[in-house]
Amino acid sequence: MRYRLPSLNALRALEAAGRRGSLSAAAKELGVSVGAISRHVTLLEEHFGRTMLRRGPAGVEPTPGCAAFLDSIGRAFDEIDMASHALASDRQRDNTLRLRFYSTFTTEWLSARLANFQELYPEIHLEFSLSIKDAEWRNDDFDMALTGMPPLGEAFRCDRLFETYFALVCAPELAERGRMAGQPWLAEQTFLMAAREGDLWTGLLQALDVPEAGALRNISFDSLSMTYQAARQGAGIALGNLFFVAGDLQNGRLALPVDRVFSVSLPHYIVTRRGRPDGPALRAFRTWLLHETAKAATELEAFLDERGLAPETLSVLPEVLV
């Protein structure tokens, strides 16, 4: 039987535009011009004799009849992806894993433990793609991704890694001066803030009774990791994700100027695709990472218990903080 199918490139353009709600976003995703996306959509509209996408000032949206078609071709592309990786896995010999991880998690926590993994599995090669943004779940090509906002649906397997606790952290000398000066001292300090932390800072400082959080002296950075580096050097007070900085607290590189810890509903997950075969390399890294994060979480809980610090719930919904 010969299939009478439209152009595959046109179908990819239509699916991306409908999913992203924008011709320009689809063009960026597929690495082509906006004009090319528009021509592909027009070609399909001529092929089917009907409007596929409604154009508007805010972007595009599929017409009612096209929405079901987009779901179908999206699933078809997923099937092709799964089949392609299954075929490739039959001949793959380099044991390479492509990992789409948050930058702060990798630099502040994972990197110190990678030597242990390489000692256990010297034949496995890890390729990291680091970002402060989440993966494009359908479009990005990865074997495993880290996220605070797991994708919905049955296409992905999500393993919970750790809970999120925050506290103010700074160099030990600065923390000691703060303890001697008392609570008003906080409002006079320099705060080291990452761009995505705004709502969390506001809620935490309110909980600490620090007035006028927006008027405080601060230095802004692109990532949490940069705030931690500055805090270690005594530049001010950072907002520490305790899972990342527990080692610094235990080794005396950082200290808590205030004995208050806050729990934020933002657990982290690793994500893999159910439809792709789990080869030995992926199974080994997944098992190792789950073991190491569970061990670190237990050590953090023991540290908090030893210090008598019971996490308080902070009711904010921040962006993923990475």
Which stretches within the chain are classed as H helix? 8-20, 23-30, 34-48, 64-89, 103-105, 114-120, 172-181, 198-207, 224-232, 242-251, 280-307
| Residue 320 binned pLDDT confidence (cut-offs 50, 70, 90) | very low
Distance of CA 52 to the CA centre of its chain: 33
Give me the domains of the chain, ranges plus CATH numbers. 8-89 (1.10.10.10), 94-322 (3.40.190.290)
Angle at 299 between CA 150 and CA 124, to 5 degrees: 60
Q: What is the mean pLDDT of the chain?
A: 85
Look at residue 322 and tell me whether its pLDDT is greater than 50: no
Q: What's the rounded Cα separation, in Å, for the pair 239 and 231?
A: 9
The reported pLDDT for the residue numbered 297 is 93
- Number of Cβ within 10 Å of residue 302's Cβ equals 11
The reported pLDDT for the residue numbered 91 is 41
- Condensed to tens digits (0 to 9), the pLDDT of residues 82-141 reads 666 666 554 444 589 999 999 999 999 999 999 999 999 999 999 999 887 777 776 667
The rounded radius of gyration (Å) of the Cα atoms in the chain is 24
The DSSP output letter for 110 is: I
Q: What's the rounded Cα separation, in Å, for the pair 297 and 289?
A: 12
- Condensed to tens digits (0 to 9), the pLDDT of residues 258-316 reads 999 999 888 899 999 887 767 899 999 999 999 999 999 999 999 999 999 999 988 75
Q: What's the rounded Cα separation, in Å, for the pair 248 and 244?
A: 9
- Condensed to tens digits (0 to 9), the pLDDT of residues 210-254 reads 866 556 788 999 888 999 999 999 999 999 999 999 999 999 999
CB 169 within 8 A of CB 287: no
Handedness of CA 246, 250, 253, 254 (dihedral sign): positive
The reported pLDDT for the residue numbered 289 is 96
